[in-house]
Amino acid sequence: MSDADPPWAGLASRVVRVVLARKDFSYAQLSEALSSVRVRESERSLASRVSRGRIKLELLLQILSVTGAKIPSLWDEALCASGTWEHRASAVVAAELSRQPTVTIDELALRMVRLGADLTEKTLASHLSRGTLSLPEFLQCLVALGSSSLERYVDYEDLIAAVQVTNNAQVE
């Protein structure tokens, strides 16, 4: 993890912990529930990944699905689509982009880099289009688009604060 990752990883961790707390799910229950969507994760590995904020967007979508958590209405169609969870993650990114039709994936990647994303524009654009984003990257994507889709699970102001921390760390 780079110096720029901790605020974003912490926020990613918080999102998942809030989902679990709101639905009164333990990691053991989550592990069992995820097996229903063919995800094999032990209680221990889930707890470890969540605590480090090392979560993919597709895992968040799986967690939202198996816990019965409230999903942003903008994402409904994407999550009901058939196909892989990676495909659904890509559809969620496309749904978020649909709010700003003049913003392309390349422009979004550039915005994310300007906000302090750790990856190159090319790598981010690839992750965005393929749905292989980490949750920290997706949170940066939401800020770059000005989206409050996850407001139920994390305050938008905290996302903005992470941008400021990241930018300050890059200046120093």
Is-contact 90 61, C-beta < 8 A?
no
Distance separating alpha carbons of residues 109 and 81, to the nearest angstrom: 25
What is d(CA 135, CA 123) in angstroms, rounded to the nearest whole number? Answer: 15
168 exposure class (CB count in 10 Å sphere: 0-12, 13-18, 19+) = exposed
What pLDDT, on the 0 to 100 scale, is given for residue 7?
92
Q: What is the chain's mean pLDDT, rounded? A: 92
| Cα radius of gyration (the chain) | 15
Domain range summary for the chain, segments of one domain joined by +: 5-171
User: Is the pTM here over 0.85, yes or no?
Assistant: yes
Nearest CA among 116, 157, 169, 153 for reference residue 14: 153
Closest CA to 93 of 154, 138, 159, 140: 138
pLDDT in tens, 96-143: 999 999 999 999 999 999 988 889 999 999 999 999 999 999 999 999
- In DSSP terms, which residues pair with 152 in a beta bridge? none
pLDDT of the residue at 171:
58
Per-residue pLDDT tens over the stretch 46-96? 999 999 999 999 999 999 999 999 999 999 999 998 899 999 999 999 999
For residue 134 the two structure tokens come to 């980490």
Q: How far is CA 82 from the centre of its chain?
A: 20
Angle (CA) 86 40 26, round 5° = 100
User: Tell me, what DSSP letter sits at residue 154?
Assistant: S
